[in-house]
Amino acid sequence: MSQAPLLPSEHFSPSVSLHSGRPATTSLEVAKFFGKQHQHVMRSIDDLRSNTPESFSASNFGRAEYSDEQGKPRPMFILYRDGFMLLVMGYTGKKALAMKLAYIEAFNRMEEELARQKEAARNITQDIVDFPGSLSITPSSVADRKPLRALVSSWAKLSNAPFDACWNQLKAAFNLANIKELPQEWIPDALAWVQAKIDALPKALPPQPERLPLYRNGCFYPPHRNRSHVPGPQEAALLELWQDWTRREASLRQEFMAMLRELDARRGDLFSYAVSDLGRNADTMFSPQCLLDSLFQSRTEAEQRFRQALDDASLHLRLSLNVAVALGR
C-alpha cells in the first residue's frame, strides 16, 4: 500500500545537503520551510547555543553567510541533524509534526546516499587493489586543480552556498580526505560531476515587476532624492507619526528586554539543568518533552511575538507613507 505524502504540494521540499562531509540544513531553509521569519529562527538558535553545552553547540551549529537579493552578505546558521532536532522540538501542531517528519526523511535519505557513495568508493578502491596489471596514477598539482576550483566557486555562488560546503561535497563524492589525493586522471570526472550539480540548480526566476519602495530610516523614496519635494498634508502627518513611533518603539523594546533579563535572572539555571538532567527526573507529573517545550518555547515565543508586533506596526506605517507619497497627498 502506498503512503500518502507527508506534505501538501504547495510546501517547499526540505533542503538537506552536505556541509563538512555531514548532512545538514541551514537556518534560512528551515525558516522558508516552516513559514517563519529568518531573524526569529536565528534568535531561537542563539538561545539554544547559549543554553546548551559548548561541545554540543560547536558540533551541531555552524555560522555561515548567504547573499540576499541585493547581493549583500547576511548571517545564517548551518544546522546538523541533532541541532535541527533540538530547534524544531518546540514547533508544535499537526502541521508542524508532518513538516518535521518530512525533514527527518530528507536527513535519512542524505545519510543513506552518503553511505552508498562511500561503499561504492570502497568497492572501486578494492577493484584497483585487485587489478592484476599495472595502473598508472599521477598526483595532481595546484595548477591541475585550478579549473576545478574555479568551477566549484561558480557552483557555490549560483547556489548561494558556502564554498567550503561545495568543496566538501566534491571530496565526499570521490572519497577524498584531502583534495591533494585527487589524481590527474580523475579531474575530468570531477569537472563533469560539478557541472552536473550546476546544471541541476533551479533556473533563475524571470525579472519581477518593481515593487513600491518602502520608507527606510525615516526617509521616503523616490521623493527623498528630490530635495525640492514638498510633502502633502497627509504625508506630513504620517511622517510626524513615524518619527514619534520610532522613538517609542526603541523605548518599548528596551523595557521588554529588561523584563526578560529579569525573568532570566530569577529563573536561574533551569534551562541548563533541564537539558543535562531532565531525563533522570522520574517524579515529575509532566513528560520530559512537555517540560522542554515549555522551557525553550515559552520565552522564545514571547520575545518573537512582541518583536513581530512591533515590526508589523512599523511596516503598516511605512506602507501608509508610501501610499501617501505615490498619491501625492
Cell of 37: 521569519
How many helices (H) and strands (E) the chain has is answered by 11, 4
Query: What range defines the domain where residue 158 resides?
Result: 144-202
84, 158: one domain: no
Do residue 314 and residue 189 come from a single domain?
A: no
Residue 212 lies in a domain: no
CA dihedral 106, 112, 115, 119 (to 10 degrees): -140
- Whether 211 is covered by a domain: the verdict is no
DSSP 52: S
Provide the residue-wise pLDDT of the chain in tens; the chain has 329 residues.
333 333 433 445 778 887 877 888 999 988 888 888 999 999 999 999 988 888 888 889 999 988 888 888 999 999 998 888 888 888 887 778 888 888 888 888 888 887 887 777 666 555 544 544 444 567 788 888 888 999 999 998 888 888 988 998 888 888 888 888 888 888 888 898 999 888 888 876 555 544 444 445 445 544 445 556 677 787 778 777 777 777 787 788 778 778 877 776 776 555 555 555 555 554 554 555 555 555 555 667 777 787 788 777 777 777 777 777 666 66
What is the number of domains present in the chain? 3
The region that residue 41 occupies, defined by phi over 0 for left and psi between -120 and 50 for alpha, beta otherwise, is alpha
- 218 lies in some domain: no
Which three cell numbers mark 100? Answer: 518535521
Residue 258: inside a domain: yes
71 domain residue, yes or no: yes
**What distance in Å separates the CA atoms of residue 307 and residue 311, rounded to the nearest whole number?**
6
Does residue 210 belong to any structural domain of this protein? no
235 and 316 together in one domain = yes
Q: Does residue 78 form part of some domain?
A: yes
The answer to whether residues 114 and 171 touch, using CB atoms and an 8 Å cutoff, is no
| 81 occurs within a structural domain | yes
Residues 51 and 77 in one domain: yes
